[in-house]
Amino acid sequence: MNPTLLDTLPRDRLPALLQAMPKAELHIHIEGSLEPELIFALAERNGVTLPYPGVEALRAAYAFTDLQSFLDIYYAGASVLLKEDDFFDMAMAYFRRAAADNVVHAELFFDPQTHTDRGVPFETVINGLTRACQTAREELGVSALLIMCFLRHLSEEAAFDTLAQATPYLDRITGVGLDSGERGNPPEKFARVFARCRELGLRLVAHAGEEGPAEYIRAALDVLNVERIDHGVRCVEDPALVARLAAQRIPLTVCPLSNVKLCVVGTMADHNLATLLDAGLCATVNSDDPAYFGGYINQNFLEAFAALPQLNARHAHTLARNSFDASFVDGDTKGRWRDRLDAVFERAAS
């Protein structure tokens, strides 16, 4: 594509372009897409009593001070998920939002331990989610993969037990990740389980450098052998690490609204997204837990670009291209999506 197009596009055309450009979402916890309305609908369907009188009261509780204050409410919200259809309905609601945001591919995190620890069989979770992934492809034209996350506040033994439960379904699971409370739960705790997942041919990612230090990013790379870092924004505290991430082209799945809502940064104007891109890092923009953090992927793009005047059409194109490059699909598919991206930019500039 003509490189000068990217430098001449007026800033006021950016919001429409951010909306229209095809993109992949690589950091979305599907349980974090449960909107309060659906939480209450599922609670009623399943006879679950919630500790909030209604949708407004629940939404009013979404004032987080850190990651843990969010996780407490997030796990409470997930308690309404009991049946295969609940997981299907949750994921389909996300896919419809994603399609409206021109997401052509999504890699969904799911947290089996949040459900199996409540007595919901692993099979129920995986069947609902895989049926939704198939329906999304057929009815919405959105491609999707599943990444199973281990909860890092739980033990290594619990992670191995979850992997054993997943074993009959590994053909439906592309990779594994590591989420939940980061501080005090360093990557090393899961070295052996990640080594086993690698032997099984699973792709590897991990949350690191969200609330935890840059050292956790190094450990995720060196000890867990992950291919992508989820969040990773605290890498800037270690310039040698930034240089390494750029040289090795390790993708970071950045989630701007999440970082603001969980007080990882003060305001969106303080976010380092532009710094990461200008340092040559393969950063992407994602929604993390969109029902809790104030918006889906396009809202993240719009708010970040509105608050950071350095970001321009070239950054927008780079972010969308990075999302395809960093995805776990084959090279031909990435190439087709990159061509679609270029076509949208060329049309916008003409």
Count the residues of the shown chain that bind ligand HPA, applying the rule CB under 6 A: 11
147 to 206, contacts with Zn ion by CB under 5 A? none
Using the rule CB under 6 A, which residue among 9, 25, 29, 103 binds ligand HPA? Answer: 29
How far is 235 from 242, CA to CA, in rounded Å? 6
What's the min distance (Å) between Cβ of 180 and Zn ion? 9
Among this protein's residues, is 210 annotated catalytic? yes
Under the binding rule (CB under 5 A), the answer on residue 89 touching Zn ion is no
The least CB distance from residue 32 to Zn ion, in Å, is 7
Adjacent-strand bridge partners of 253: 230, 284
Q: Which of residues 180-209 bind ligand HPA (CB under 6 A)?
A: 180, 207
Between 17 and 250, name the residue whose CB sits nearer to Zn ion: 250
Name the closest residue to Zn ion (Cβ): 288
Helix (H) or strand (E) holding 269: none
Which parts of 163-182 interact with ligand HPA (CB under 6 A)?
179-180
Q: How far is the CB of 158 from ligand HPA (least distance, A)?
A: 16
Minimum CB distance to ligand HPA smaller for 296 or for 345: 296
Helix (H, G, I), strand (E, B) or coil at 111: coil
What is the pattern of x (binds Zn ion, CB under 5 A) and - over residues 265-294? -----------------------x------
Q: How far is the CB of 37 from ligand HPA (least distance, A)?
A: 20
Q: 231: part of which helix (H) or strand (E)?
A: strand 228-231
Distance, CA of 114 to CA of 120 (rounded, Å): 9
Residue 111 in contact with Zn ion, rule: CB under 5 A: no
Q: Quick one: CA torsion of 32, 35, 36, 39, rounded to 10 degrees?
A: -80
107 binds ligand HPA (CB under 6 A): no
115 lines the binding site for ligand HPA (CB under 6 A): no
Residue 281: C-alpha distances to residues 165, 170, 203, 259 (Å): 36, 31, 20, 18
Contact with ligand HPA (CB under 6 A) among 113, 124, 143, 258:
258
CB nearer to ligand HPA: give 101 or 288. 288
Q: How many CB atoms lie within 10 A of CB 48?
A: 14
The C-alpha atoms of residue 141 and residue 194 are separated, in whole angstroms, by 32
| Interaction partner, residue 32 (Zn ion, ligand HPA, none; CB < 5-8 Å by kind) | ligand HPA
| Contact of residue 210 among ligand HPA, Zn ion, none (CB under 5-8 Å per partner type) | ligand HPA
Give every CB contact of residue 273 below 8 A, 6+ residues apart in sequence. 254, 256, 283, 285, 304, 308, 311
Q: Which is nearer to Zn ion, 211 or 288 (CB)?
A: 288
Other CB atoms within a 10 A radius of the CB of residue 336 amount to 14
- What number of CA atoms fall less than 13 Å from residue 67's CA on the CB side? 18
Q: Given the complex with ligand HPA, which of 32 and 295 has the nearer CB atom?
A: 32
For position 272 contacting ligand HPA by CB under 6 A, the verdict is no
Given 31, 210, 227, 303, the catalytic residue: 210
Strands, sheet with 23-29, edge to edge from the N-terminal-most edge strand: 23-29, 103-110, 143-151, 175-179, 203-208, 228-231, 252-254, 283-285
Binding residues for ligand HPA restricted to 198-257, rule: CB under 6 A:
207, 210
Secondary structure of residue 253 in the 3-state scheme: strand
Backbone angle region of 48, left / alpha / beta, with phi > 0 → left and psi within -120 to 50 → alpha = beta
Binding of Zn ion by 25 (CB under 5 A): no
Amino acid at 247: A
Residues in touch with ligand HPA (CB under 6 A): 29, 32, 67, 74, 179-180, 207, 210, 258, 288-289
**Residues labelled as active-site residues:** 210
Residues in touch with Zn ion (CB under 5 A): 288
